[in-house]
């Protein structure tokens, strides 16, 4: 059986990894995603979305064998893309953005490094 270039099958469900710009992930927005029938669907990316977040499109998966027209679901997994080859201006804007924020802007990072600090302190 050959691999599909976009979808991975899990029974009647399909999975698709969709890259999302870090700006869209941070601010929220919409992204157009492919469907198995060659169509398109718009999904809403919530503000503050992280890589790995899933959005389910009911009934957009594989047809259920003897299912009377029923179909599995399509799971879209967001992959937040970090920009590369930034211009000097873009780098300056990002540095300014970072200095204007606090730890609450990056809860996963803050939580992880708090655990690391506890771990290191317990070892001494």
26-57 per-position pLDDT tens digit: 999 999 999 998 999 999 999 999 999 999 99
Q: Please compute, for residue 53, the number of CA atoms within 13 A of its CA located in the half-sphere on the CB side.
A: 17
Mean pLDDT, range 70-95, rounded to an integer: 96
- The answer to whether domain 1-82 has CATH 3.40.640.10 is no
Residue 116, classed as helix, strand or coil, is: helix
What's the whole-model pTM score? 0.80
The single residue listed with the structure tokens 């893309």 is 81
Domain extents in the chain: 1-82, 85-124
3-state secondary structure of 34: strand
The pLDDT-based confidence of 65 (bands split at 50, 70, 90) is confident
Residue 1 has pLDDT above 70, yes or no: no
Lowest mean pLDDT among 15-24, 52-61, 67-76: 67-76
CA 18 to CA 115: how far, in whole Å?
A: 30
CA distances to 37, 39, 44, 52 from 25, in Å: 27, 23, 10, 11
Q: What are phi and psi of 38, to 5 degrees?
A: 90, 0
């Amino acid at each position: 059986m050959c691999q599909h270039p976009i979808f991975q099958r899990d029974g009647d469900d399909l999975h698709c990894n969709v890259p999302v710009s870090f700006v869209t992930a941070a601010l929220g927005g919409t992204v157009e995603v492919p469907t198995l029938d060659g169509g398109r669907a718009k999904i809403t990316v919530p503000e503050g979305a992280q890589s790995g977040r899933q959005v389910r499109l009911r009934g957009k998966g594989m047809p259920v064998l003897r299912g009377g027209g029923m179909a599995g679901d399509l799971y879209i997994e967001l992959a937040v893309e970090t920009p590369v080859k930034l211009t000097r201006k873009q780098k300056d804007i990002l540095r300014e953005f970072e200095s204007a924020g606090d730890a609450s802007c990056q809860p996963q990072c803050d939580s992880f490094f708090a655990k690391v600090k506890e771990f290191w302190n317990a070892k001494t």
